[in-house]
Amino acid sequence: MTTRFLKKVFAATVVLSMALSALPTKTFALSIAASLSAPSNVSVTGGAYTNDTTPTITWERPSGATWYEIMLDNGSWTSLSNVSTYTLSTLTDGWYTFSVRALNNSATSATASVTMEIDTVGPTVPAVSPSTATEDESTTISVGPFGESAPAWCDLYVNGTNVGDMTKTGTAFIREYTFTNTGSYTVYAKCTDGDNNTTSGTSRSITVGDGDVDGTFTVPAVSPATATEDESTTISVTPYGTLDAEACTLYVSGSSVGSMTESSGTFKKSYTFTNDGDYTVYAYCEDENGNWTKGSSRTVTVSEEDSNDDAPTVPRVSPSTATEDEEVTITVAPTSDEKVSWCDLYVNGSNVGDMDRNSDGTFEIDYTFTNDGSYTVYAVCTDASYDVTTGTSRTITVSNEDDNGTFTVPIVLPATATEDEATTISVTPYGTLDAEACKLYVEGSLIGSMTDYSGTFKKSYTFTNDGSYTAYAYCEDENGDWTRGSSRTIKVSNEDDNGTFTVPAVSPSTATEDESTTISVTPYGTLDAEACKLYVSGSLVGSMTDYSGTFKKSYTFTNDGSYTAYAYCEDENGDWTKGSSRTIKVTDKTTVATGSLIKTACSTKATATDPCKAVYFYGDDGKRHVFANESVYFNWYSDFDDVETVSSSFMASLTIGKNVTYRPGSVLVKFDSSSKVYAVEETRTLRHYESSSLVKSDYGADWKEVLVSVPDSLYSNYTIGNDIDSTSDFDRTEAYYSVSDINDLF
């Protein structure tokens, strides 16, 4: 402000000098008594920069003056009496030049002027930071106000009370403050600029937590998910965790609708939705430590109370039992606010026909199950508005009409076999019913029919590999019903198994995320190992390479945590053996160097706005610095090839530092709400070009190709330096090489 004031005083002096030099020569020929000096010391009460829209102008009267004339800007002259002060009428914001001259009956003096600015607009004051704090611990609260006139001081307000002055640090203002209780506080700054204009900043809700929380507390989504307009609905929530819930408040569409009442840990409140539609509803609950937690949101769909477009309600069909080859009447009783026109019956997913509508609104159909067993049966009904509902399924158990005996299929024999040798597998069903036929299944696949040898059914089968196999028989009794027998695990050994072969657990037991780890295993025994494959978390990750009997493979774990790994190895007989499992503990990657680009890993379901997509500059100051947008990022980098992925815990351990700004000398900058064009200089400084010709002298006729528009919200990222008023006042190349990397910005 001092600089601007001196410039304006200088301007006023120039005006006065020019006015004096413009006087006609004959003026100086007047006698001393007839000549007049110009009024001196013309000034604005309160300074040349004022927020007074009716400023008072004063001057010192020269000897011999009997009256005065004044003029505002280039208006007309107005006569005044022999006074030395004048108060202007209400002015709007802007620049004005006030001129005054002295007169008597013989002469008119030179004109004296003063230039002033009327400024009633206060600074822009954003929300304070941070948004969270811990009770009884000092928190540094900061704000970055900005405006045409630099903010001179700020006061901090907590819940409407001024808690003291904030200290100016660079372009920001800070104050240490201690919240003595947990909860939510409304905090904002009120800042005053050099023209004495004051602005109350945007409020920030700071959530203050208990520093000694020693338990868990979760607030799930409320219930129910549906309601009817103009009907009272009981909305409930049951918080859970190691901490008890003390109180809950219900919110509907972001507004509190009142406290909820507790009943055995469940909090409830009756609420009536007056209109149909979708509403966002959640509970805000307090735990025993006094901390409040916002619950998950629930979208409650509210339907019209007199809606006639609801689909019918279709219950389960009846009955739940039937007898094979006997006709059974299957019924269903749908309900609706209008007539149900028809229903179809589905058996095991197939439509078996239309159901007949009875006078009482029920529907029925006669159906015959040709085999015993369990069937999934349901009705699909349509009302007069063509709204369709698939009914609840019913399992109908169908028994055999002549089931008057017992029939059991035991497990097959034998329990062991040898690979590549034929094995006779047999089963002997028993009970009061005779067996008519049996089929053999191995590993769930039908092998073929078994031959009856006086009630024992047999089939020859050859296992081509050793290992464990599941086998069972499926047999038909004299009533024509099929029964699945119990499963047998048959252990098949190698015909030339004449040695030992053991695959131990792999090594090592620890690794670091995002770093290649060599995993190895050394099988041992009298048989040699021919090959090994590596499995991680049950999935094959590739073959291992043999190094003199030790098999190795490099593998990179992309996230920290615990992983199960094992090797699957083949011996010289061609038999494969699964090795013992090893739990490998993978720790966070914390060795990334400063000066790196970092981000967290993304899941396959991550959207474009997921926080994992954000790339930060990891500075030498140990902080992560935000790129405000892609324009700033690509001002420094041409691609994302050098971005390193770090763990979420490591990223969270880094505090956020100053934003990355444009490289000095690389671009021209303007703000969205202003037409001023700035050059970028080192230490994040912007310098305004006083004319477009100066811009062209530094950046050429195509200077607009490198002009970027910056949101007003990022104004505080920069410092405003001196204007550029000559071609030698700024060197673009020198500015560009004034920094070697982003670290030089901070």
Q: What is the pLDDT of residues 619-644, one digit of tens each?
A: 999 999 999 889 999 999 989 888 98
| pLDDT higher than threshold 70 for residue 498 | no
232 and 286, same domain (yes or no): yes
| pLDDT higher than threshold 90 for residue 162 | yes
Residue 249 sits at φ, ψ, to 5 deg, of -120, 140
622 and 580, same domain (yes or no): no
Q: What is the pLDDT of residues 358-396, one digit of tens each?
A: 988 899 999 999 988 899 999 999 988 788 899 999 999
- Evaluate whether residue 311 is within a structural domain: no
Residue 32's pLDDT is 38
Residue 31's pLDDT is 36
- Reported as type and span, the H/E element at residue 19 is helix 2-21
- Evaluate whether residue 351 is within a structural domain: yes
Residue 496's pLDDT is 58
pTM here is: 0.30
Contact 644, 592 (CB under 8 A): yes
Q: How is the chain split among helix, strand and coil, in percent rounded to 5? A: 10, 45, 45
Please, which residues bridge with residue 499 across strands? none
- Mean local confidence (pLDDT), 17-30: 34
623 and 685, same domain (yes or no): no
Contact 357, 332 (CB under 8 A): no
Residue 272's pLDDT is 94
Q: Which of 87, 118, 149 is the last residue of a domain?
A: 118
- Whole-angstrom Cα distance, residue 348 to residue 376? 5
198 and 231, same domain (yes or no): no
CB atoms within 10 A of CB 143: 26
- Mean local confidence (pLDDT), 539-562: 92
Residue from 269, 267, 281 nearest 237 by CA: 267
476 and 440, same domain (yes or no): yes
| pLDDT higher than threshold 80 for residue 471 | yes
Out of 136-145, 384-393, 549-558, 584-593, pick the least confident. Answer: 584-593
94 and 22, same domain (yes or no): yes
420 and 329, same domain (yes or no): no
- Evaluate whether residue 128 is within a structural domain: no
Token couple for 119: 């400024």
What region, left, alpha or beta, does residue 517 occupy, with left being phi > 0 and alpha being psi -120 to 50 degrees?
beta
648 and 679, same domain (yes or no): no
- Mean local confidence (pLDDT), 243-249: 92
CATH of residue 685: 3.30.2390
Q: Peptide bond preceding 55: is omega within 30 degrees of 0, i.e. cis?
A: no
- Whole-angstrom Cα distance, residue 653 to residue 656? 10
| pLDDT higher than threshold 60 for residue 723 | yes
109 and 156, same domain (yes or no): no
- Evaluate whether residue 384 is within a structural domain: yes
- Whole-angstrom Cα distance, residue 240 to residue 238? 6
Instruction: With H, G, I as helix, E, B as strand and everything else as coil, classify residue 10.
Output: helix
Q: Peptide bond preceding 123: is omega within 30 degrees of 0, i.e. cis?
A: no
Q: What is the pLDDT of residues 114-124, one digit of tens each?
A: 998 888 888 88
| pLDDT higher than threshold 80 for residue 326 | yes
Contact 31, 45 (CB under 8 A): no
- Evaluate whether residue 315 is within a structural domain: no
- Evaluate whether residue 100 is within a structural domain: yes
89 and 11, same domain (yes or no): yes
* Pairing mode of beta strands 226-228, 298-303: parallel
| pLDDT higher than threshold 70 for residue 138 | yes
Residue 430's pLDDT is 92
- Mean local confidence (pLDDT), 405-428: 91
| pLDDT higher than threshold 90 for residue 24 | no
Residue 156's pLDDT is 96
Confidence of residue 404 (pLDDT cuts 50, 70, 90): low
Q: Which of 462, 493, 524 is the last residue of a domain?
A: 493
- Mean local confidence (pLDDT), 419-439: 92
95 and 6, same domain (yes or no): yes
Number of folded domains that form the chain: 8
Residue-number span of the structural domain to which 619 is assigned: 597-653
- Evaluate whether residue 407 is within a structural domain: no
- Reported as type and span, the H/E element at residue 539 is strand 539-543
- Mean local confidence (pLDDT), 69-94: 91
Residues of the chain with pLDDT > 70, as a percent, come to 92
Residues of the chain with pLDDT > 90, as a percent, come to 56
Residue from 514, 742, 515, 736 nearest 624 by CA: 742
Q: What is the pLDDT of residues 217-232, one digit of tens each?
A: 999 999 998 988 888 9
Radius of gyration of the chain (CA): 44
CB atoms within 10 A of CB 70: 20
What's the mean per-residue pLDDT of the chain? 87
- Evaluate whether residue 572 is within a structural domain: yes
Instruction: With H, G, I as helix, E, B as strand and everything else as coil, classify residue 202.
Output: coil
The 3-state secondary structure of 270-330, one letter per residue: EEECCCCEEEEEEEEEEECCCCEEECCCEEEEEECCCCCCCCCECCCCECCEEECCCEEEE
- Running DSSP on this structure, what letter comes out for residue 25? G
Amino acid occupying residue 154: C
Amino acid occupying residue 45: T
Half-sphere exposure of 17 (CA within 13 A, CB side): 6
- Running DSSP on this structure, what letter comes out for residue 743? G
Residue 28's pLDDT is 34
Residue from 305, 260, 254, 310 nearest 286 by CA: 260
Confidence of residue 419 (pLDDT cuts 50, 70, 90): confident
Q: Which of 209, 241, 262 is the last residue of a domain?
A: 209
CATH of residue 152: 2.60.40.10
Residue from 488, 478, 485 nearest 437 by CA: 478
231 and 336, same domain (yes or no): no
Q: Peptide bond preceding 508: is omega within 30 degrees of 0, i.e. cis?
A: yes
- Mean local confidence (pLDDT), 177-199: 90
Instruction: With H, G, I as helix, E, B as strand and everything else as coil, classify residue 46.
Output: coil
- Whole-angstrom Cα distance, residue 697 to residue 391? 79
Residue 321 sits at φ, ψ, to 5 deg, of -135, 155
